[in-house]
């Protein structure tokens, strides 16, 4: 499990892959046993936050289908 005080800042230009990296980090934390409500991702727009939720949900749904 990750250190509760560990933080990561991702700052880069548009189209550079920030969302992909945040999604990977989020999924990694889940895989390490961190509970979803304990993970925080802050974005500048609601649209970006919605994109993160959609991408994480999509990966988790695909994983759940593969297990069944």
pLDDT, tens digit, for every residue of 21-61? 999 999 999 999 999 999 998 888 899 999 999 999 999 99
**Neighbouring C-alpha atoms within 13 Å toward the C-beta of 45:** 4
> Distance from first CA to last CA of the chain, Å, rounded?
26
More confident residue, 53 or 5: 53
Q: Burial-class residue 6 by CB neighbours within 10 Å (0-12, 13-18, 19+).
A: exposed
More confident residue, 2 or 25: 25
Residue 21: other Cβ atoms inside 10 A:
13
Mean pLDDT, rounded, for 2-29: 84
């Amino acid at each position: 499990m990750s250190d509760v005080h560990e933080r990561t800042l991702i700052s880069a230009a548009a189209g550079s892959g920030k969302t992909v990296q945040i999604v990977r980090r989020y999924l990694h934390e889940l895989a390490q046993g961190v509970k979803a409500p304990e993970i925080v991702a802050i974005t500048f727009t609601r649209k970006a936050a919605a994109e993160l939720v959609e991408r994480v949900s999509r990966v988790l749904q695909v994983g759940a289908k593969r297990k069944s």
